[in-house]
Amino acid sequence: MLFGRRWFLCHMRFRRFLCRMLLEPTWIRNDVIFDGGRRPVAADRLSELGLDDVAWSSPAPNLQKNLRILSPDQIKLAKMLTSEGQSHLFAHWAEPGVDDEGKRSFFDQVARLDRSYPGGLVSYIRNARKLLADSKEGKNPFDGFTPSVPLGEVLTFGDDKFVGFEEAGIREVRNAAFVLVAGGLGERLGYKGIKLALPAESTTGTCFLQHYIENILALQNASNSILQGQHEAQIPLVIMTSDDTHTPTVDLLESNSYFGMKPTQVKLLKQEKVACLDDNDARLAVDPCNRYKIQTKPHGHGDVHALLYSSGLLDAWHDEGRKWVLFFQDTNGLLFKAIPASLGVSATKGYHVNSLAVPRKAKEAIGGITKLTHADGRTMVINVEYNQLDPLLRATGHPDGDVNCETGYSPFPGNINQLILELNSYIEELTKTRGAIKEFVNPKYKDSSKSSFKSSTRLECMMQDYPKTLPPSARVGFTVMDTWLAYAPVKNNPEDAAKVPKGNPYHSATSGEMAIYRANSLILRKAGFEIANPTLEVFNGQEVEVWPRITWSPKWALTFADVRRKASCNCSVTQRSTLVIKGKNVYLDGLSLDGTLIIKSIDDAEVKVGGSVQNKGWTLKRIDHKDTSVPEEVRIRGFEIEKVEQLEINYTEPEQMSENDEAIEN
């Protein structure tokens, strides 16, 4: 029995040894292969793994010394790097036994970079070499192309055509999905948090993400109410994040119960960074703070297309019967005022791609939507950067370049990086390209020889360059809205904004907030309200128009027809006033406001508000943006709101109510 037991134990140990030899990670020590338990592996396994010849590692002697600590998958990545001229990455590696975890971590990063780029790191490096060579030679990406003005729709706010497109857009939006590109922090603004958490305006303190979600929910409800009897559609929201913004975005959503949206409606897709490039040979840059790490930088918001393709969401949306995908960026507080009409244009015109645009002055520092026709017959409608458009026009028979036409604006409308794509054609195109977008590189050279860089560079791609790969048969157009209605991005810090030449947009937190008040004031004025003219004030060195501080929740009014239906023409608001409407069925009739009025009501209440309101109101107090005792989100605006006196009316019962002069007077 003793002999039998010993034989059995030996037999089981031998079987375990065979299993480890065949299944566990394999290791190399000089010319001998060991398994994960440091046991020699048979020579035929060596050949099987393709690792029997280590001559490939000879250009990287420090790597060769460390091969025994690497797994087969890591060794394959090492072979790929050395074959693509990246042996320098291992030049400063320590001897085996020193920093081994850092070395393995290096290959974890390489594996991520390889997975996240269409075609892997080999494609990235080879694309980089070609683009860097073209850049050094000064090749013009538009050689052979002739620019012309594409077909599109120019809308005038409030006219019958505009209202018709808004109505069509509301009907269509239940068949849409929204994609928010939000990979950046607010550091450029002088704000350390994520930009989505920044208040769009100070009157209510509503942050950008809340503002966007409330608009989508209001669109969802409005569209469903039009098509009663059909299933209640839920509009999905995808947010593209990055390593910097992913966790804070999740925290912002979860801590605020997704701002009323169902958690299942929201999907987050995290964008990976790409490797930096040290020179014209596309040698990957070693992180200056860690010799076992490749330096990385953002690839650009064009990654959103590849992420959507790989996520499987597009096919799921197709199966749900969706027709449209709307892309927007993270700090434009006016965008959703343009969405209904723009989507209506897409649906009515049958556009595969619809770029939202604004009137653009000739040579203004904003890209122009342009049709390009190549000598070989190829055509495409894309954004052409302003510093490329003018010389391109001059080189193709327009000696004055980009000039204003009879409208006072350039015929090439200004691109604002908001896209509406028709889903079926989008899926068809991404099936071909896997979401890869035409890239560019913008190295900063040390001198005119272009032989070395001031700092590392990387390949970049832009969301709006999606149309570059489309066939000529694709229906690509644009929709132009007034700038005051559609475009007020927040992207510059106070110091940079203060340096902007007078008359040009500041694109700061200050100007972005004031633009919201201006738009709401002009919309009410168009509806017949008597709205006082603005005053000119200076905050953080920026001269801005200060209109009455008027805000309303999206469920009160999404379209101009909504505003006209709920706001009569016999109302007036003074310049110093603040008006906040937080309710669905609030009707303004005969209101005279000189001060601050806040109206809140539940959705089931129908409220008519009129009469005279006069109080000390809320005032704007100047703040020095260098005063660190004040929160960043306030400093970057240059003012804070002092709530001196206000009238707040709160309707909590589901009934019809009417406020007469005596009841509302304060």
For Cα atoms 600, 617, 543, give the angle at the middle one, nearest 5 degrees.
Answer: 110
First CA to last CA distance, the chain: 102
Q: How confident is the model at residue 224 (pLDDT cuts 50, 70, 90)?
A: very high
Contact status, residue 176 vs residue 222, Cβ threshold 8 Å:
no
Question: Which residues on neighbouring strands pair with residue 492, listed in sequence order?
Answer: 508
Backbone CA torsion sign across 543, 549, 555, 556: negative
pLDDT tens profile 610-666: 999 999 999 999 999 889 999 999 999 999 999 999 999 999 888 766 665 444 544
Length of the chain as a residue count: 666
- Span 499-510, mean pLDDT? 91
What contacts 469, CB < 8 A, 6 or more positions away? 429, 432, 433, 437, 438
pLDDT tens profile 532-568: 999 999 999 999 999 999 999 999 999 999 999 999 9
- Angstrom CA distances, 338 to 146, 156, 221, 483, 501, stand at 31, 11, 18, 10, 27
- Give the DSSP letter of residue 468: G
What contacts 44, CB < 8 A, 6 or more positions away? none
Q: What is the pTM of this model?
A: 0.88
Contact status, residue 592 vs residue 574, Cβ threshold 8 Å:
no
Residue 67 CB neighbours (<10 A) = 21
d(CA 180, CA 194): 13
Strands 572-573 and 585-594: parallel
pLDDT at 24 over 60: no
What contacts 331, CB < 8 A, 6 or more positions away? 195, 198, 208, 489, 490, 491, 512
d(CA 196, CA 506): 19
pLDDT at 29 over 70: no
Q: What is the mean pLDDT of the chain?
A: 90
Q: How confident is the model at residue 454 (pLDDT cuts 50, 70, 90)?
A: very high
- Span 400-408, mean pLDDT? 92
pLDDT at 46 over 70: no
Backbone CA torsion sign across 349, 354, 360, 362: negative
The DSSP result for 414-477, as a single string, is EEEEEEEEEHHHHHHHHHHHTT---EEE---BSSTT--SBSS-B-EEE-GGGGGGG--TTS-EE
pLDDT tens profile 576-616: 999 999 999 999 999 999 999 999 999 999 999 999 999 99
Task: With CA atoms as reference, report the closest residue to 518 among 479, 547, 543, 496.
Answer: 547
The whole-number pLDDT of residue 234 equals 97
Using DSSP, state whether 127 is helix, strand or coil: helix
Helix ranges, 52-99 (H): 61-65, 72-83
pLDDT tens profile 156-204: 999 999 999 999 999 999 999 999 999 777 778 888 899 999 999 999 9
Task: With CA atoms as reference, report the closest residue to 491 among 245, 191, 284.
Answer: 191
Contact status, residue 137 vs residue 280, Cβ threshold 8 Å:
no
pLDDT at 79 over 50: yes
Phi-psi region of 457 (alpha: psi -120 to 50; beta: other; left: phi over 0): beta
The whole-number pLDDT of residue 4 equals 53
d(CA 23, CA 8): 22
The whole-number pLDDT of residue 7 equals 52
pLDDT tens profile 113-158: 999 998 899 999 999 999 999 999 988 889 999 999 999 999 999 9
The whole-number pLDDT of residue 656 equals 66
